[in-house]
């Protein structure tokens, strides 16, 4: 717990008030002082610029972010300036299990955008974090491998299937496109399924079904006919019946206990599920 009588700390060579109240400040007790004069004296002692700040480990930063963010509305809460560096490093580790990395708004200045208030380094780190796969537990890895074996698919097969849909997207950040790892696309593609092991089981099944469908003798002919129909002048595709779609969405809700519009699936996928009896 923070010392009540030590209200100032040295962070990055600057004296600032310490606002940590409920938890220990990540800058450490040795850099805290009772008055601003004492802090400045330590900063300027013998003409030095202050003792080097204690390096925070990844696990310490991860713990700091978890403790600070727990129970907060990260869309409106702002991280304390004096804790930003540590919390940012901890925040980046949240991508290990969070497909979107929710919480970046906590680092963005009020009324600003990430492009305006994140540093160049933070932007690079943010984009790089999304390229990394979501971390699986040993149990999830085992069940994933079992699902692959069960349906006769590989990781590259699943990645290619999920890549057709690109559920997870975001506007360019300072002209840079987001490159979401396939495991993040998979997680977004199956929002209605609560854990990664079951997500892999479901998508492995869909991948195998999609592969078998492509082997059908009429598969290429069907694709060609659809293309020709779209190119034929004066002909337009038959519109979908809105009442039928709503009825299928209702079936989806009853079957999977989640509104279809929150599932991350597309209407063509919904129609395919209906054809295969997955909504009954």
Give the tens place of pLDDT for each residue, 145-179.
Answer: 999 999 999 999 999 988 887 788 888 888 888 89
Select the more confidently predicted residue: 2 or 254: 254
* Residues with Cβ within 8 Å of residue 259, at least 6 apart in sequence: 249, 253
Residue 2: predicted pLDDT: 43
Task: Give the SS3 label for residue 220.
Answer: helix
Select the more confidently predicted residue: 64 or 113: 64
Give phi and psi for 170, each to the nearest 5: -160, 150
The closest alpha carbon to 211, from 168, 144, 260, 164, belongs to 164
Q: What is the pLDDT of residues 34-45, one digit of tens each?
A: 776 777 777 676
Q: What is the pLDDT of residues 221-235, one digit of tens each?
A: 334 333 333 343 445
The closest alpha carbon to 202, from 192, 211, 212, belongs to 192
Residue 67: predicted pLDDT: 93
Q: What is the pLDDT of residues 176-217, one digit of tens each?
A: 888 999 999 898 888 888 889 999 999 999 999 888 887 777
Give phi and psi for 273, each to the nearest 5: -60, -40
Beta bridge partners of 14: 11
Every domain of the chain and the residues it spans: 8-47, 55-132, 134-215, 235-275
pLDDT at 47 over 70: no
- According to DSSP, residue 118 is labeled S
Q: How many percent of the chain have pLDDT more than 70?
A: 79
Q: What angle do CA 195, 197, 199 make, to 5 degrees?
A: 70
Select the more confidently predicted residue: 266 or 185: 185
Q: Are strands 32-33 and 8-11 parallel, antiparallel or unpaired?
A: antiparallel
Residue 5: predicted pLDDT: 57
Q: What is the pLDDT of residues 60-93, one digit of tens each?
A: 999 999 999 998 888 888 998 889 999 999 999 9
| Mean pLDDT value across the chain | 79
Report the distance separating Cα 126 and Cα 115, nearest Å: 11
What is the mean pLDDT of the segment spanning 50-66? 79
Report the distance separating Cα 145 and Cα 155, nearest Å: 9
What is the mean pLDDT of the segment spanning 98-121? 86
Select the more confidently predicted residue: 249 or 62: 62
How buried is residue 271: exposed, middle or buried, by Cβ count under 10 Å (0-12/13-18/19+)? Answer: middle
Q: Confidence band (pLDDT; 50, 70, 90) for 11?
A: low
Select the more confidently predicted residue: 5 or 270: 270
Select the more confidently predicted residue: 29 or 176: 176
Residues in the chain: 280
Residue 156: predicted pLDDT: 92
């Amino acid at each position: 717990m923070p010392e009540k009588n030590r209200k100032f700390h040295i962070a990055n060579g600057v004296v600032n008030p310490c606002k940590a109240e409920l938890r220990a400040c990540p800058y450490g007790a040795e850099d805290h002082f009772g008055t601003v004069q004492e802090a400045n004296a330590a900063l300027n002692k013998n003409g030095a610029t202050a003792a080097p700040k204690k390096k925070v480990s990844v696990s310490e930063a991860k713990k700091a972010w978890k403790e600070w963010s727990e129970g907060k509305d990260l869309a409106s809460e702002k991280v304390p300036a004096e804790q930003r560096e540590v919390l940012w490093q901890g925040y980046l580790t949240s991508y290990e299990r969070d497909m979107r990395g929710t919480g970046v708004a906590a680092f963005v200045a009020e009324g600003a955008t990430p492009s305006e208030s994140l540093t160049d380094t933070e932007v690079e780190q943010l984009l790089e974090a999304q390229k990394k796969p979501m971390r699986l537990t040993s149990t999830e890895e085992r069940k994933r491998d079992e699902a692959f074996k069960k349906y006769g698919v590989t990781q590259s097969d699943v990645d290619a299937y999920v890549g057709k849909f690109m559920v997870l997207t975001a506007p360019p950040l300072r002209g840079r496109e987001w490159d979401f790892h396939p495991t993040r696309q998979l997680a977004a593609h199956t929002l209605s399924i609560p854990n990664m092991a079951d997500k892999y089981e479901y998508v492995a099944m869909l991948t195998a079904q999609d592969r078998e469908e492509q082997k059908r003798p009429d598969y290429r002919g069907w694709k060609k006919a659809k293309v020709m129909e779209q190119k034929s002048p004066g002909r337009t595709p038959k519109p979908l019946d809105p009442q039928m779609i709503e009825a299928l969405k209702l079936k989806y809700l009853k079957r999977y206990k989640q509104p279809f519009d929150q599932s991350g699936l597309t209407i063509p996928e919904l129609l395919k599920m209906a054809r295969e009896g997955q909504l009954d």
